[in-house]
Amino acid sequence: MSQKLIIANWKMNPQTQKEADKIFSGILLSVKNIKNTSVVVCPPSLFIGNLKKNNKILIGAQNVSGFSDGAYTGEISAKMLKDKNITYSIVGHSESRASGDSNELINKKINLLLKNKLNIVLCIGEKERDHNGFYLSFIKKQLHECLAGISKSQIKNIVIAYEPIWAIGVDALREADVSEFIEMSIFIKKIIGDMYDVKTAHDIGILYGGSVHPENAESFLIEGRASGLLVGRDSLNAKKFSKILICADKIK
């Protein structure tokens, strides 16, 4: 990945279409001068249809059903996303995992998204870090099970977002240190290398997510060599999100 990929995950926010349109317009204004960065906004699906059409911001989904179609109340299929010109979908976010998404179900979702030619942001991350390094085997299991049966050519459509749960949201213990992200990137690449090959490991994009702010974005992107960022709270503030975009865009 040469261009940085910056993803806004709005989660279940904001509460009205009016507010969603306002934040989106604010982001749209700032992307006018963005040239080297891919920008994806993942709003609540109800708001998508109304957001101003443009060729600067890609629209993503926050999750997708593990079934292709049928009697699944409340679910949205990969084919529906494709039909609405949605190009990315997050899967395996810790908040979706907390409401029941297992690695096995995430694997089904990935397969359906691939079948419908969508790009995938696969979130992984541990709840806590222990001195014995058990969190590393937890990450390894997430990757092995979520990517089971996914071929070398399919993985080109997948980026991994490392989001330690302890660094996410208002209850975050703290944000991750850049060194912790670097260590984890190396570990993820080692696992991908063992599962596929060295080139696949080299090429795979790894994003950082969890309390990303304009103040720490640059260090993850430059020192941490992150392929991009997954931004929660600060993506609901067009000014803050724009600062993150400007910072990503300066990096060659």
232 binds ligand PGA, rule: CB under 6 A = yes
- Given the residues 75, 93, 128, 213, select the one marked as catalytic: 93
Beta strands in the chain (DSSP E): 4-9, 37-42, 57-61, 88-91, 119-124, 158-162, 206-209, 228-231
229 binds ligand PGA, rule: CB under 6 A = no
Query: With contacts defined by CB under 6 A, how many residues of the chain interact with ligand PGA?
Result: 13
44 binds ligand PGA, rule: CB under 6 A = no
Residue 56: other Cβ atoms inside 10 A: 14
Closer residue to ligand PGA in complex, CB, 226/230: 230
- Given the residues 128, 163, 180, 215, select the one marked as catalytic: 163
Site for ligand PGA in 202-221 (CB under 6 A): 209-212
Residue nearest to ligand PGA (CB): 232
Binding mask 155-174 for ligand PGA (x = CB under 6 A): --------x----xx--x--
* The dihedral sign for the CA sequence 189, 190, 195, 200: positive
119 binds ligand PGA, rule: CB under 6 A = no
Among 58, 91, 106, 230, binds ligand PGA (CB under 6 A): 230
Residue 118: other Cβ atoms inside 10 A: 21
Among 189, 233, 240, 243, binds ligand PGA (CB under 6 A): 233
As measured in angstroms, the least distance from the Cβ of 169 to ligand PGA is 5
Is 93 known to be catalytic? yes
Convert 177-186 to b/e letters by CB count within 10 Å (16 or more is b): ebebbbebbe
Pull the structure tokens for residue 213: 């702010």
d(CA 6, CA 173): 23
Give the position of tokens 């989106």: 24
3-class SS of residue 43: coil
Q: Which residues are catalytic?
A: 93, 163
Q: List contacts with ligand PGA (CB under 6 A).
A: 9, 163, 168-169, 172, 209-212, 230-233
